[in-house]
Amino acid sequence: MIPVLSNVLTGKTNEHVIIDSRIGVPLHTRAVFPFLSLQKEAQKSGFDLRVASAFRAYDRQLVIWNEKAQGKRDILNYSGGSTLDYNQLNREEVLWAMLRWSSVPGASRHHWGTEVDIYDYNALNSPSSEALKLIPAEVEGEGSMAALHRWLDKLIDAKKAFGFFRPYEMDRGGVALEKWHLSYTPQSFLYDESYTYDFFVEQIEQSDIELKDVILQHSEKIFQTYMKNICPYPN
């Protein structure tokens, strides 16, 4: 694989992203205008669509992963409703629990710059960063972000979401349901196609990552269940 592409796929470069002042976080150069269009569309319906997180660099993901693996950060349970007792888990259990909510460094779609975790600023209970939780309860039923997502459902169904779709719209037994996670398909589809199993294994072997031996032992299952097991791309 050409080095430029492998660095983009693993978040080891930021040359594919830019920070537009209207968005405020680094996003793929090709996703900026489509996102601004989505933002304008949202505004017409009274939503102040903002991005909580978009591009994430490899180094950042590595720190998060390693701290969780060492028990220095909370690990959520399967439903996301509570945290697990790290001391009760063996290394394999730690790995599977982490994979539900975190990507292996170098294998996160957020490295690509094409992914955004979104929210409605108007619906925050208070303007502090703690007000946003990005948990399932927030986006369903009476949740504060439910109205935004009902609006988005319709837009995506009508194929009018400017190329964005939800790869984690449903719980497929791998990564948890994350309705707030949108992907700019015209670009992410290409990255996804380029990301092969051999490449996954190769980059884990080269990395300085906690639980490396257990990851390599289960590399095929991790690749199929947590990386490739997303909702089908819209056609």
CA dihedral (163, 169, 174, 175) positive or negative: positive
Minimum CB–partner distance for residue 109 and Zn ion (Å)? 7
Range 174-233, binding Zn ion (CB under 5 A): 181
Using the minimum distance from each CB to Zn ion, give the nearer residue, 94 or 230. 230
Minimum CB–partner distance for residue 117 and Zn ion (Å)? 4
Whole-angstrom Cα distance, residue 223 to residue 144? 33
Side chain identity at residue 100, one-letter code: R
Kindly state whether residue 56 participates in binding Zn ion, applying the rule CB under 5 A.
no
Full 3-state SS string of 11-74: CCCCCCEEECCCCCCEEECCCHHHHHHHHHHHHHCCCCEEEEECCCCHHHHHHHHHHHHCCCCC
Minimum CB–partner distance for residue 213 and Zn ion (Å)? 27
How many residues interact with Zn ion (rule CB under 5 A)? 2
Q: Draw the binding track, 88-117, toward Zn ion (x: CB under 5 A; -: no contact).
A: -----------------------------x
| Contact positions vs Zn ion (CB under 5 A) | 117, 181
